[in-house]
Amino acid sequence: MIKISKLIHDYIQRDEEGNPSGTIRAIDDVSLDVSPGQFIAILGHNGSGKSTLAKHLNALLFPTEGAVWVNGMDSRDQSLLWDIRQTAGMVFQNPDNQIIGQVVEEDVGFGPENMGVPTEKIWQRVEESLKTVGMYEYRKKSPNRLSGGQKQRVSIAGVIAMHPKCIIMDEPTAMLDPSGRADVIKAARKLNLEENITIILITHYMEEAIQADRVFVMDNGKIAMQGSPREVFSQVERMQELHLDVPQVTLLGHLLRKKGLEIPEGILTREELSDVLKKLKKGNRQ
Amino acid sequence: MGISLEKVSYVYEQGTAMQTSALQEVDLEIPDNQFIGLIGHTGSGKSTLVQLLNGLLRPTSGRVLYNGKDIHADGFDKKALRANVGLVFQYPEHQLFEVDVLSDVMYGPRNLGLDEAACKKRAKEALANVGIKEKYFKTSPFDLSGGQKRRAAIAGVLAMNPRILILDEPTAGLDPRGRDEILGLISEMKKNLSMTIILVSHSMDDVARYVERIVVMGHGRKIYDDTPKNVFRHYRELENLGLSAPQITYIMNTLRESGMDVETDALTVEEAAAEIMRKLK
């Protein structure tokens, strides 16, 4: 679905007169492959390069060196720009910057309309998309009257209406309350499982990454760690070095292990922890 | 002393078709020197509440008292109130604008009418309190890193010497290390300056870790006002309000439901680990 090969991206710094004065390397030799239908999480501290990477995936930024292919399309080929953006949709952090329509259904219809989809097909797509994210009953409402989580789901519907094969979400839950966060993550999960849409989720909430098929951790423009959530979150100290965290249940398991309990690293759910502790307790009694 | 709200209600666009009741009969005491967490779903009324606390909004009914005096009474010095009740908005770094960091932080005290030397002194103290070193004082605020920008913006409010500091989602958009740093800093400020801090947050994990009292807003009303341990006992009710409990509360409840006899009121991972060890021995 997405292939990144030896990607380098330099931002040009400019002095007060606007003349180039130097460069900052935001992405430094990154290669990765994402298969169709995968759910990928990208973690990394502020300034680690993850948003820069994400913007390459729908041709908002272009490689300084190396290449990015989206569904086989090379992003360096300007003639493919619109096809790439249609294939890989993007959801940003702040829903207020992404919603333009006066009415929810108009906002969602904006994308397909721009693509030249015939009118009756647009309405069909709008209906489907809003139903997928659970916002159909709000279709006649003004987006201003919605909560942050609802607005963000409308933004996602706007992306789905363009029938993308892949959706990149750049910290979609950063500004939401707990139930808004849960709804957005649920919607992303559903798109992945039921519609087989490839999801690339960039987040600062470690617990949102535990359901991913694969986790990439960025640091200093490079991929510092990668693997299954269990493989990545097993390395508590390494994650902390990278200014990150692990889910609290993982950290709790890690602390108990340090206190001498026989608990494996990389516990990801509370049910897992409860099972392990039950077994330990039984062992103690015998 | 401090701020009290007496049966405060607030209605937006009263008398129009868009009339919305944002707050209903809220009573609240904000004493000196307390670390308070204010939580609530989007639209719960917490932003309205915050704006009532420093007089940006006037209650539709009820009274807001500062040190016992009605802040909307004739002759009340609102300027002094706003200096005493500092408000740090979400993404405060978007409000940086001066040529260098020191001037930016001096902007507030200048508006209070202090002379240049006094402004400079306050700005330097505020910057020291947020951990920004002197070598950055003449740097453009736009050249600071994300975390530093946010600290400089907080210093801008701190330089007004508020007795009560309200921070609206001060960790939004920060990575875990940045979150810990800002919250650690706020905690230090609370200790060193013995001020009241009101932390408005969506992160139950953060609130559980730092504050001594939690006020929960829901649908325009005050639902809970208690210690973190007592508030998070109601985690199912919190979920119905569009909120949640800290991750650790869920973990301990799962353990208890599965037959392990642990207390469920741990607020941090360390407390939880200690409780589990105690039960396993």
The distance of A74 to chain B (nearest Cα, Å) reads 31
Please, are residues B21 and B9 in contact by the beta-carbon 8 Å criterion? yes
Any idea how long chain A is? Answer: 286
The residues, any chain, with a CB within 8 Å of residue A8's CB and separated by 6 or more, are A25, A27, A28, A29, A63, A64, A65, A66
The residues, any chain, with a CB within 8 Å of residue A52's CB and separated by 6 or more, are A9, A11, A26, A27, A61, A221
Mean pLDDT of chain A: 91
Q: Which domains does chain B have, with CATH numbers?
A: 2-229 (3.40.50.300)
Q: Which domains does chain A have, with CATH numbers?
A: 2-229 (3.40.50.300), 247-286 (no CATH)
Write out chain B in H/E/C secondary structure: CEEEEEEEEEEECCCCCCCEEEEEEEEEEEECCCEEEEEECCCCCHHHHHHHHCCCCCCCEEEEEECCEECCCCCCCHHHHHHHEEEECCCHHHHCCCCCHHHHHHHHHHHCCCCHHHHHHHHHHHHHHCCCCHHHCCCCHHHCCHHHHHHHHHHHHHCCCCCEEEEECCCCCCCHHHHHHHHHHHHHHHHHHCCEEEEECCCHHHHHHHCCEEEEEECCEEEEEECHHHHHCCHHHHHHCCCCCCHHHHHHHHHHHCCCCCCCCCCCHHHHHHHHHHHHC
SS3 assignment, position A74: strand
Q: Chain centroid to CA B73: how far?
A: 26
| pLDDT band for position A286 (cuts 50, 70, 90) | low
Q: B42 and A178: CB-CB below 8 Å? A: no
What integer pLDDT is reported at residue A97 of this predicted model?
A: 81
Residue bearing the bigger pLDDT, A22 or B186: B186
Using one digit for the tens of pLDDT, what is the confidence trace for B29-48?
999 999 999 999 888 888 89
With 90 as the cut, is the pLDDT of residue B27 above it? yes
Chain A interface includes B20 (CB < 8 A): no
What integer pLDDT is reported at residue A217 of this predicted model?
A: 96
Distances (CA, A) of A123 to A14, A46, A155, A251, B209: 46, 39, 16, 47, 48
Q: Name the most confidently modeled range: A90-94, A149-153, B274-278.
A: B274-278
Distances (CA, A) of A245 to A93, A284, B59: 20, 31, 42
Residue bearing the bigger pLDDT, A286 or B190: B190
What integer pLDDT is reported at residue A20 of this predicted model?
A: 83
Distances (CA, A) of B268 to A81, A251, B202, B273: 48, 11, 17, 9
Nearest chain B alpha carbon to A180: B242
What integer pLDDT is reported at residue A148 of this predicted model?
A: 80
Distances (CA, A) of A31 to A3, A4, A28, A221, A233: 8, 5, 10, 11, 21
Residues of B in contact with A182 (CB under 8 A): 244
Please, are residues A94 and A107 in contact by the beta-carbon 8 Å criterion? no
Residues of B in contact with A94 (CB under 8 A): none
Q: What is the mean pLDDT of residues B239-245?
A: 90
Chain A interface includes B247 (CB < 8 A): yes
Using one digit for the tens of pLDDT, what is the confidence trace for A59-72?
999 999 999 999 99
Q: What is the mean pLDDT of residues A92-97?
A: 83
Helical spans, DSSP H, in A50-208: 50-57, 81-87, 104-114, 119-132, 148-160, 178-194
The distance of B202 to chain A (nearest Cα, Å) reads 5
With 60 as the cut, is the pLDDT of residue A252 above it? yes
Q: Chain centroid to CA B134: how far?
A: 27
Name which of A177, A252, A284 is nearest B242 (Cβ-Cβ). A177
What integer pLDDT is reported at residue A147 of this predicted model?
A: 80
DSSP 8-state secondary structure symbol assigned to residue A203: -
What integer pLDDT is reported at residue A285 of this predicted model?
A: 62
What integer pLDDT is reported at residue B68 of this predicted model?
A: 92
Rounded Cα gap, residues B215 and A157, in angstroms: 34
Chain B interface includes A60 (CB < 8 A): no
Residues of A in contact with B145 (CB under 8 A): 46-47
Beta bridge partners of A43: A217
Q: Quick check: ipTM above 0.95?
A: no
Please, are residues B238 and B232 in contact by the beta-carbon 8 Å criterion? yes
> How much is the CA Rg of chain A, to the nearest whole Å?
21
SS3 assignment, position A285: helix
Q: B146 and A179: CB-CB below 8 Å? A: no
Using one digit for the tens of pLDDT, what is the confidence trace for A200-239?
999 999 999 999 999 999 999 999 999 999 999 999 999 9
What integer pLDDT is reported at residue A35 of this predicted model?
A: 96
User: Which of A97-111, B108-122, B221-235 has the weakest average pLDDT?
Assistant: A97-111
Nearest chain B alpha carbon to A247: B247
